Amino acid sequence: MLIAEQVFLLLTNDKGGGEAWVSHRNLALNGALLCDLAAHNYIALERKRLSLRVLPAVPSTSVQDPLLRHGVAELERKGERRLTSLLESGKFAQPSVVAQRFVANGVLAQEEKGFLFVSWNKYPTLDPSVEANLRARFQQTLHGQGQESWDEAVVLTLLDAIEAIGPVLKQETKGTTRRDRRETLGEIAYSLVSPELERTGALLSDTVQAVRQSIVEIIEEERRQAQAQARARR
């Protein structure tokens, strides 16, 4: 299961909509797909002036996986993209594309909804065992009872970046303290970017670090703007 698929499954409730109390789902999905592409060496990172750019490293026609091929094709459309614009994109990790393997395998259904001139898809659960197994592994990790895989480590890092660990993994973190969770998540994030541990390749390590930092900065900037607008209305 790709990182983007794991994130999508965790951020989609059983009725097929987004998990309650979780915002910035789009940031996490886009960041997850970027990490998937980096793990397969399908992208390159290039710093230009003050911004980090993402470029395709292979032609999309050479990529077999449909979701990864979609990601590379989206990069090809503009040649290079600023990391922040990719994270905020509505077309990069589209839910309709990320969900397709689950729909094809009978894990999720796909239902088209609409109101007036607006339509959207929902993805209610058909087979809960896939997500249940995923959550069980995260529960072991968060309770110090098992070693997460590198891709699960990336998933937890992305959920932490959008502040979704509590609302999304509420049952899985039950019995742990906030301090315990912060220490565990800090260790996981460090393990992904530490050159001494050599847990991931340089490209994936750099991508995870850049994606996490950019997501945090985007959310902080949104809060600053909201606070400024609130003060202006007083």
**Alpha carbon 106 to its chain's center:** 22
Q: Is the pLDDT of residue 155 over 80?
A: yes
Which structural domains are found in the chain, ordered by start? 3-233 (1.10.3630.10)
Q: Is the pLDDT of residue 22 over 90?
A: no
CA distance 178 to 175: 10
User: So what's the pLDDT on residue 69?
Assistant: 97
Q: Are 22 and 55 in contact (CB under 8 A)?
A: no
Burial of 188: CB neighbours in 10 Å, binned 0-12, 13-18, 19+: buried
Amino acid at 93: A
Q: What is the tens place of the pLDDT at every residue in 23-51? A: 899 999 999 999 999 999 999 999 887 78
User: So what's the pLDDT on residue 115?
Assistant: 72
The model's pTM is 0.93
CA distance 79 to 97: 21
Q: What is the tens place of the pLDDT at every residue in 100-119? A: 999 999 999 999 877 777 77
β-sheet with 81-82: strand ranges across: 43-48, 51-56, 81-82
Q: What is the tens place of the pLDDT at every residue in 54-85? A: 999 999 999 999 999 999 999 998 777 899 99
User: So what's the pLDDT on residue 150?
Assistant: 94
CA distance 188 to 217: 20
